[in-house]
Amino acid sequence: MAEEKTTVDMDTIVSLCKRRGFIFQSSEIYGGVGGSWDYGPFGVELKRNIKDVWWRDVVHRRDDIVGLDAGILMHPKVWEASGHVESFTDPLVDCKNCKKRFRADHVQDGVCPECGGELTESRLFNLMLKTFLGPVEDDASLTYLRPETAQGMFVNFANVLEASRRKLPFGIAQIGKAFRNEITPRNFTFRTREFEQMEIEYFVKPGTDEEWHQRWVEERFDWYLRYGMRKEYLRLRQHEGDELAHYSKATYDIEYLFPFGWAELEGISNRTDFDLRQHALFSGRELTYFDEETGTHIVPYIIEPSGGIDRAALAFLVDAYREEKVRKRKRVVLQLHPDLAPVKVAVLPLLRNRPELVDLAKELASDLRMHVTTAYDDTASIGRLYRRQDEIGTPFCVTVDVDSLEDHAVTIRARDSMDQVRVPIPEVRQTLLDGLGRG
């Protein structure tokens, strides 16, 4: 039986991510850039899988939510109406000695955490990243890279309602990039300046909002459990009065116990009718819903489950990480849910200098590749190949050995139990699909 170590420090995760090709520092050859990260071959698959299961669960498997892909660049008035120009700020302090800047709520005792120097009084700093549309850089062409995907869904409320003929309650879901000029990006990919969000804006009748809020809080909490996150590393936390955003009547955060402490994965807010009323006011357009039961036009309330894909990816990585002792040797394994694992199956020939084995293994890999993400690898000894696949969380390895040429069977090794079974080649595909929960 393997001994397990279930907690991991951030340095170990950062180094695994770099070594195995999950996440690299942005522009590393130029010394890196703060608050931006690049996802390597396995990181991009992990992120894509998170987005796919989210979209599958909230759009395809429900009939009350439709998707949207709005632009990152929007009319500058959007950000006035939303309150971002006025209120999307963090308090900032400067060090009078080393000139570094910090979020006022991240420093203690008015002293610079880097050099101990004296800090200035705090002042408000807007987190939106500015840009200019067109060739002239003046106030008239100023706009922002969106700091959240949400506003694209609010401004398209009437379009989606009209096109999809929905009745309340219904939702719009969107996945996309968002940008914030964070003063102190930190904790690897946890707080960055460029990130991806997965957001739902769920429109409900006023008066039913509190009940829907509770339902969405439960639904979203269960979603993280469904994909394998350990319950004891997840918790719900309700925002205190002064912590609430300007648009929110109530917010719950789903938090994960990262190596640096409890921190937000996703927020679920009751945004009331704030957004539709603001955009109606600023645009002059009517953003209402005709309620056939009462014969009146109403402004729906909005329940918003808003999660970060980068944060989810980091939490899934941290949560899946295990160090085990197997026959006195350390084994690192990512116990990722099969739906999230970047590679589902690896086909490995036991001997790479036997062309018949290599051919058979490659043939099997190309058949499996039509059904699931499959890797073929013959670049090291079988022990090292297993270790490599364990570290990226591949649920199954298929080994083709000399006997395979005679008995037309291969060995399937399960990642977590390390159990091995001999399976006739014609049954391999179905056995793997069953094991991956896709039978």
Q: Where on the chain is the footprint of ligand GAP (CB under 6 A)?
A: 148, 150, 180, 182, 191-192, 195, 197, 199, 264-267, 304, 306-308, 310-311
Q: Cα dist. 252→175, 192, 259, 322 in Å?
A: 20, 22, 21, 30
Residue with tokens 């969000």: 197
Min separation Cβ 60 and ligand GAP, Å: 22
Residue 182 or 219: which CB sits closer to ligand GAP?
182
For residue 233, how many other CB atoms are within 10 A of its CB?
17
CB of residue 376 vs ligand GAP: minimum separation in angstroms? 35
Alpha carbon distance 95, 115 (integer Å): 9
CB of 267 to ligand GAP, least distance (A): 4
Q: Would you say 69 and 157 are in contact if contact means Cβ atoms under 8 Å apart?
A: no
Q: How far is CA 306 from CA 37, 179, 252, 371, 428, in A?
A: 21, 15, 11, 32, 40
Q: Which is nearer to ligand GAP, 274 or 386 (CB)?
A: 274
Nearer to ligand GAP, 102 or 386 (CB): 102
Residue whose CB is less far from ligand GAP, 166 or 191: 191
Q: Is residue 171 within a helix (H) or strand (E), and if so which, with residue range? A: strand 170-179
Shortest Å distance, C-beta 189 to ligand GAP: 7
Sign of the torsion formed by the C-alpha atoms of 134, 140, 142 and 146: negative
CA dihedral of residues 229, 227, 365, 329 (deg, nearest 10):
10
Between 175 and 375, name the residue whose CB sits nearer to ligand GAP: 175
Which residue, judged by CB position, is nearest to ligand GAP in the bound state? Answer: 308
Least distance to ligand GAP, CB of residue 413, Å: 35
**Measured distance CA(408)–CA(392) in Å, rounded:** 28
For ligand GAP, the closer of residues 233 and 324 by Cβ is 233
- Minimum distance from CB of 168 to ligand GAP (Å)? 20
For residue 228, give the nearest of 437, 16, 2, 1 by alpha carbon: 437
- b/e map of 278-303 (b: 16 or more CB within 10 Å)? bbbeeeeeebbbeeeeeeeebbbbbb
Q: Cβ(172)–Cβ(88) under 8 Å?
A: no
Residue 192 or 374: the one with the smaller Cβ distance to ligand GAP is 192
Nearer to ligand GAP, 192 or 389 (CB): 192
Q: How far is the CB of 308 from ligand GAP (least distance, A)?
A: 2
Residue 404 Cβ, how far from ligand GAP at the closest point, in Å?
A: 46
Smaller CB distance to ligand GAP: residue 148 or 273?
Answer: 148
Question: CB of 285: closest distance to ligand GAP in angstroms?
Answer: 21
Radius of gyration of the chain (CA): 25
As beta bridge partners, residue 185 has: none
Sort strands 329-334 and 321-326 into parallel, antiparallel or unpaired. antiparallel
In the block, tokens 């800047």 appear at 101
